[in-house]
Amino acid sequence: MIGAVFLVILWTIMYGYMIAASIDFGMGFYLFYGQYLRREGRFYAPLQRWLSPTSEFMNIGFVLIFAAVIGFSPEILLNFQTPLVFCGGFAIVLTVVKGTFFAFAELLPRGSTASRVFSSGNGIIGIFIPVVLSIALVISEGGFADYGTGAFHAFVRSLLFNVYFWSVVLIAVVSIFYISAMYLVQFAWKMGNEPLTEHFRNYALFLSMPTVLASGVVFLGLESQNPEHFSAALDGLWPFVLSLICLLAAVTLVFLRKYPWTFLLVMLQYFFALYGYTVSHFPYLVYPDIVLNSGLSNWAKSGWFFVFSLVISIGTLVCYLRIRCWNVADQKHHE
């Protein structure tokens, strides 16, 4: 029972971080792009209300993920020290640097050269954090046992020549822009900012096709990296089909300018995709070296795990986004 609860909590943290971090990282980059590359600072200014120091604390979510995974299976730390240190350590450094850049950008006078530099750094670095974290997914597919406790340079060289790694990097980066653009459509619409809504509507529609293509590339990369997991994913294809249906429904609603339910569909899209990936990955935590307890693995493939993870993860994320929107509304009211 304790293991089942722990698994649902861990999965909720992973899913929630994926969506919430994508919104923050994407919004930071769009703000940098709009203010300093397009030089339309006033047009993009509403995005500044979303970004705040509290959002930087959310970035520590991946630390909880690593701690939970290691607590779940200490064997991972023993057998994969090099990849975990590289992945976790690099991500922590990037998060600290990003938070520092954000703080200086807020403290320094707006429009100054130093403020522009720090704001640009905050926007750009956020794109690299999910890329670094995606290394953990690549490792979980196997093929890196020889570098588990070996030299860093050997592991990095093996990673850079790995096709699946680059496919995961592609989907991670595309998802950041797609998720944040989809959210910004609804965000701008709720604020009553029609020009900004139309602007990000165009971005969301444009990014929908690269998202589908990147998803296909990931499947091809998975086939080359781990044929067993690829076969298991094909056998349990229904979550991925539902994910595609949610994507098409969300894009259709955006195209028709029917915004109230679009981001809920995006959340469901990534819920089904991550659920399908996770369940097809079990009973392995790391192929083929580290295996989940058979009883817990069977429970994770049952309908109960699906129901609990759906209700808790979506409910938690909706509450988080609503609270953030209320804070933005209060800030707008005070201005």
| Res 207 pLDDT > 90 | yes
Q: Which of 61-65, 201-205, 272-276, 289-293 has the lowest mean pLDDT?
A: 61-65
How would residue 40 be classed by pLDDT, with cut points 50, 70 and 90? Answer: low
pLDDT one-digit tens code per residue, 294-328: 777 777 777 888 888 889 888 888 888 887 776 66
- Enter the tokens of residue 70: 């290691």
Residues 6+ apart with CB under 8 A from 207: 174, 177, 178, 181
Under DSSP, is residue 285 helix (H, G, I), strand (E, B) or coil?
A: strand
Find, among 149, 172, 258, the residue nearest to 218 by Cα.
Answer: 172
Q: Tell me which DSSP letter residue 148 carries.
A: T
First to last CA, the chain: 49
Report the percent of the chain where pLDDT is more than 90. Answer: 24
| Res 94 pLDDT > 90 | no
Question: What are the Cα distances from residue 173, in Å, to 77, 138, 225, 268?
Answer: 27, 15, 20, 19
β-partners of residue 284 are 291
The residue with greater pLDDT, 156 or 331, is: 156
Type of residue found at 304:
W
Q: Tell me which DSSP letter residue 36 carries.
A: I
Contact status, residue 208 vs residue 230, Cβ threshold 8 Å: no
| Res 29 pLDDT > 60 | yes
The reply to whether omega before 283 is within 30° of 0 (cis) is yes
How would residue 145 be classed by pLDDT, with cut points 50, 70 and 90? Answer: low
Under DSSP, is residue 284 helix (H, G, I), strand (E, B) or coil?
A: strand
Side-chain-side CA neighbours of 217 within 13 Å: the count stands at 17
CA dihedral 168, 170, 171, 174 (to 10 degrees): 160
- The pLDDT assigned to 61 comes to 61
pLDDT one-digit tens code per residue, 236-270: 899 999 999 999 999 999 999 998 889 999 999 99
pTM score of the predicted model: 0.89
- Enter the tokens of residue 6: 């722990």
| Cα distance between residue 279 and residue 281, in whole Å | 5
